[in-house]
Amino acid sequence: MRLADRVALVTGAGSGIGLESALALSREGAKVVVADIAEEPGEAAAARLRDTGGDACFVRADVSKGEDCARMVATAEETYGALHVLFNNAGISHIDDSGAEDTDEAVFDLTMNVNLKGVFLGCKHGIPALRRAGGGSIINTASFVAVLGAATPQLAYTASKGGVLALSRELAVLHAREGIRVNALCPGPLRTELLMKYLDTEAKRQRRLVHVPMGRFGEAREIADAVVYLASSESSFVTGTSFLVDGGITAAYVTPE
């Protein structure tokens, strides 16, 4: 097992990428702290990991709040003795997120508080724990739109994910000599609830797929495989990257229909 004797904390682990990543980390031997703002899905996720032979616990956390982030890290150390892998994955995409003129300030602030401040707070409280463990891996969920720009207006989301890239690069440089690696994971368009709520017709889905060289949406489990790689010693010389798992969309130039 690639992560035996490791402890991983995954935020937003009740569904989507977070859930699939928690399952994948557990399969590779990691003890997993499942963190989510929604108690029922979070508890269910932890139970699912235990039912499949893993060791997992749940902690409710609103990542936009410092005290919640401190508590989830403390839970990892108190329950399992250390923290080695921190996956700052929790994020939102607001249905009313649009361009600069049409996006309300409240929508912008909420998106930044969860998607960017939440990563900052996870790192703020997680880095001392990783240092106490002798090093480890931080993985921050960004997005391909932070590299490419979104065809559909979602300014707050895109800006927040751009911030995750910059924050991850700087932290990677600051903590490299301590054995703490920091990478930003940039998924492409995925068949998840977060995206499908916008692409709610076949016509909309096909318009997006025009831009993806592979011609299909990614699956959350494919992102989870990248998480396991970045968490494991196989990526021991990988830090400060914008790690793209995007079906080739950022490599392509396609004229929109």
Active site residues: 157
- Sheet of 31-36, strand order: 56-60, 31-36, 7-11, 85-88, 136-141, 180-187, 242-245
β-bridge mates for residue 185, sequence order: 141, 243
Q: How many Å apart are CA 23 and CA 254, to the nearest integer?
A: 35
CB 13 within 8 A of CB 41: no
Pairing verdict, β 242-245 and 180-187:
parallel
Q: Which residue has the tokens 């990892």?
A: 76
Q: For residue 200, what are the CA distances in angstroms to 84, 204, 220?
A: 39, 7, 18
Q: Is the dihedral of CA 101, 102, 106, 110 positive or negative?
A: negative
